[in-house]
Structure 1
Amino acid sequence: MRAMQIKAAIDRIPGGLMLVPLLLGALCRTFAPGSPAYFKGFTQGIMTGVIPILAVWFFCMGASVSLRATGTVLRKSGTLVATKLVAAWAIVLVAGLFIPPEGIQSGFFAGLSILAIVCAMDMTNGGLYASLMQTYGSREEAGAFILTSIESGPLMSMIILGASGAAHFEPQIFAGAVLPFLVGFALGNLDPKLRALFAPGGQLMIPFFAFALGNTVDLSNLLSPLAGLGIVLALAVIVLTGIPLILADRAIGGGTGTAGLAASSTAGAAAANPLAIAAVAPHFAPAAQTATVLVTICIIVTSILVPILTGLWYRRFGAGAAEARTEAGPPLAVPAE
């Protein structure tokens, strides 16, 4: 019997490893909301265990972050990561002047919250970025995904919320949120064999926490004005983070701006952050579910638009880098998103 190409089909969808299980979980929540209570046991655990699954994933992501990289790759990746985070911080700082923690409650922007904004803005889809750079960039630009792992999980979102004054986290709460990542990071850099053991878990856990996360999302929300609002938020992500990323890539990274535009997406894993942050900051709980829906829409829209815009930008401004890309050698392996 011929084997089914399920994994290949999922890989053809930008962020598919996150989005497909999330959609399956959302279908369960929408059409069979009583399933966890009905099945109980391990099935209930995997449908409702977002936080413990995320904790293991966060640990594995920490273990995968290595301090060893060439200076060029570090300069490229460091420029993009720092710019993305600073841009997100500035956006949250301004938005915090007008939007309460529970979010806007009426009008077209009803449902928009600081939580949704920071989670949509501060994480780049590393797999999408690396894929685009293998086509439109140099080997070093493709390798700039190395530091994007630092953005993964709620750590940077919490830092931005705290630094902007939009939230206050007690020291023990903040430590509890970042400790799995830090322990994984320490062990992975102290012993390469431990990194080799734990790092694959960063990809392995994605479908599981995505499915559990999907079980918190009611798809009926997409029939509300949230769909239009999510598209507006996605466009804001591309414009408000893309412009600083393009400028930074040209001025600091030594690129053509193509890499900056390619990094202006929302990571698939960002959909998990609203619930994770609300778990340690209860005042965000009322906005968590709506924020998850908005961030999910951002993931889908930016995954479609960013490749198109990057290709157009490259044809206009970056085609002259093709020769340099050829001389730089074969591209690096593309990470799974």
Structure 2
Amino acid sequence: MHLPIKRTLERVPGGMMTIPLGCGAVISTFAPHAGSFFGSFTGALFSGALPILAVFYVCIGATISVRSLPAVVRKGGAIFCTKILLGIAVGVTVGHWIGINPIASGWFTGFSTLAFVAAINDTNGGLYMALMTQYGRPEDAAAYSIMGLESGPFFTMVTLGVAGLSAFPWQTLVGAVLPIAAGMLLGNLDPDLRHFLANGVHVLIPFFAFALGATLNLKLVWRAGVAGLALGIAVLVVSGFFLVLIDRLTGGNGTAGIAASTTAGNAAAVPALVAAANPQYAAAAATGTLLVACSVIVTALAAPFLTAWWASRNGSRGTTLELAGQGVERG
């Protein structure tokens, strides 16, 4: 008997992230003591997102080639810096409005500055690469070798600090970037090791997603409905507007900007990581994971249609891309 489980999961936008996360949330909601009941390795999986994520970011770092950076620094650097600056602007603006804690009542219950910053800071790399293969140019796709530096909680913590919402000890900031830096070092020193570690990116996603889901209560999911939809739309509109302008200024026609206006699947892990570093964000992280996961789905569904429309309007042509060290799609 053969069941196409993997292919079925991949048909769902961000399925490798969102479906295991949902499974963990279902078990945690209806059997909240399952982890402690079984204990051992099973119990560890119900509360072990952080160690898995540490390994995940080492693997991600290994896929980033230092030698590819100079050739695409103008495009990738421009988009990367724009995303980070947008995160800071959002942190300052939304943080001034609602502060650190999430909104407590109304249609946007659970919405927080942390969720918005985490959602806007990190691009869905797999989707971006796929769209640029079809509608972009080689340099547009190669730009993700720089944009991939967004991954992880480091820039979200920096953004929140710059926005004046809270300070993180320098040791915490360094600790947040060390795994990805170690992966970059190992991957650039040994191409074989890069290939070996890159294979771990896809494998680890459903496992840390399940562990994150096990910390959620589905009784709060309905609250994330309107707020999650609004967050995804806001990420598309806000980042899309500015990224199209930046793409045009760097010689593109805006197609790469539209394709980059998404939320990465692994961004759903960032609220929990930030809360682990600073307990002040514990309340925001509780709903932030759900909100960011909603943004992953909304942007993954909408961005391909918007990119195709923009490309047809501007006469973009697809290209065949072969990028050394970029054989891993991330979402």
Equivalence for 2:273: 276
Label 1:70 to 1:106 Cα distance change in 2 as closer, same or farther (>3 A).
closer
Q: 1-side partners of 2:238 and 2:281: how far apart?
A: 24
| Structure 2 gap ranges (5+) | none
Q: Which deviates the most, 210-219 or 133-142?
A: 133-142
* Corresponding residue for residue 308 of structure 1: 305
Q: State the match for 1:264 in structure 2.
A: 261
Q: Is the 8 A contact 1:14 1:128 kept in 2?
A: no
Letter in 1 for 2:63: S
Deviation at residue 82 of structure 1 after TM alignment: 1.7
* Cα distance between partner residues in 2 of 1:330 and 1:116: 34
Q: Which moved more, 1:12-21 or 1:65-74?
A: 65-74
Kindly indicate whether the alpha-carbon contact (under 8 Å) linking 1:30 and 1:219 is maintained by their aligned counterparts in 2.
Answer: yes
Within-5 A mapping of 1:149-188:
149-188=148-187
Residue 168 of structure 1 and its aligned partner are, at CA, apart by 0.1
Q: Deviations over 1:169-217 (max 9, x none)?
A: 0122222222222222223223333323323222221111011011112
State TM-score, norm by structure 2: 0.93
The answer (yes or no) to whether the contact 2:47–2:214 under 8 Å persists in 1 is: yes
Corresponding residue to 1:292 among 289, 292, 304: 289
Consecutive unaligned residues of structure 1, counting only runs of 5 or more, are none
Match of 1:66, as an amino acid? S
| Identical columns (%) | 45
Confirm whether residue 228 of structure 1 aligns to residue 226 of structure 2. Answer: yes
Matched with 1:335 is 329
Deviations 1:59-79 (A, max 9, x none): 222222211117553332222
Determine the structure 2 residue equivalent to 1:64. Answer: 63
CA deviation map 1:39-75 (0-9, x unaligned): 1111111121011111111222222221111755333
Closer, same or farther: CA 336–172 of 1 in aligned 2, 3 Å: closer
Aligned residues of 2:152 and 2:176 also touching (Cα < 8 A): no
CA distance in 2, matches of 1:330, 1:125: 18
SS state of the match for residue 205, structure 1?
helix
Whichever residue aligns with residue 329 of structure 2, its letter is P
1 CA distance for matches of 2:107 and 2:75? 38
Alignment match, 1:19: 18
Residue 194 of structure 1 corresponds to 193
- TM-score, normalised via structure 1 length: 0.91
Aligned AA for 1:104?
I
Task: For residue 149 of structure 1, report the CA deviation from its aligned partner.
Answer: 2.2
